[in-house]
Amino acid sequence: MNSVKIDIFSDVVCPWCLIGTERLVKVLDAMGLRETARVRYHAFMLRPDAPEAGTNLREELRAKYGADPQAMFARVEAAARESGIALDLSRQTMSYPTPRAHTLLRHAFAKGTQEALARALFQAHFHDAQNISDPDVLRRLAGAHGFTDEETLRLIQDPAELEITRSDAEEARQQGIQGVPFFIFNDRLALSGAQPEGVFREALQQALQG
């Protein structure tokens, strides 16, 4: 069976990105494509203007929609449970800026640890309620995925590196990607959202046939 190239646009503070990527991984496993699929994560920022200290997500959503966001959270949690993900959005009350995390993910691709680091960042943010913009948190996470402490700190403190990351995220928007997760299979077939596993399977079959 031919290999498939998959570009994933996501943000590590996006619960639907966590769900969507886990569903994709399950389908890749089921189809025997996990080892041969060429998966690459790309930066997208839900809040490119997020303050350094982060924002209280519930307060922000309550102000935006004029209602308690609990029902919204319950729908996300239910979708996660359907995919075997024990997601409890009450654990993490904050949403943090993600340029530093995305910078590390960009460099993790060459190390072959990008997918593992992405999953570790999701775990740290949603399950462990950590600040995934904090240098100490990132140093610990990256250290388990091929980065030295010195390399991590250099990358996340380098204005030029952070600017490349922000430019990548902005380029995604200019290309028409307005929401995440967003998947592109073999550079020609696009899929938006945390789709059901059956939809991912169909997309992969179409990509392989092309």
The domains found in the chain, sorted by start residue, are: 5-53+98-209 (3.40.30.10)
Q: What pTM value is reported for the model? A: 0.95
Decide: residue 55, CB within 10 A, 0-12 exposed, 13-18 middle, 19+ buried. middle
Residue 1 has a pLDDT of 52
Q: Are strands 38-43 and 5-10 parallel, antiparallel or unpaired?
A: parallel
The DSSP output letter for 158 is -
Q: Decide if 13 contacts 54 (C-beta within 8 A).
A: no
Nearest to 156 by CA among 144, 171, 170, 141: 141
Confidence of residue 173 (pLDDT cuts 50, 70, 90): very high
Whether residue 73 has pLDDT greater than 60: yes
Instruction: Convert the pLDDT of each residue in 137-148 to its tens digit.
Output: 999 999 999 999
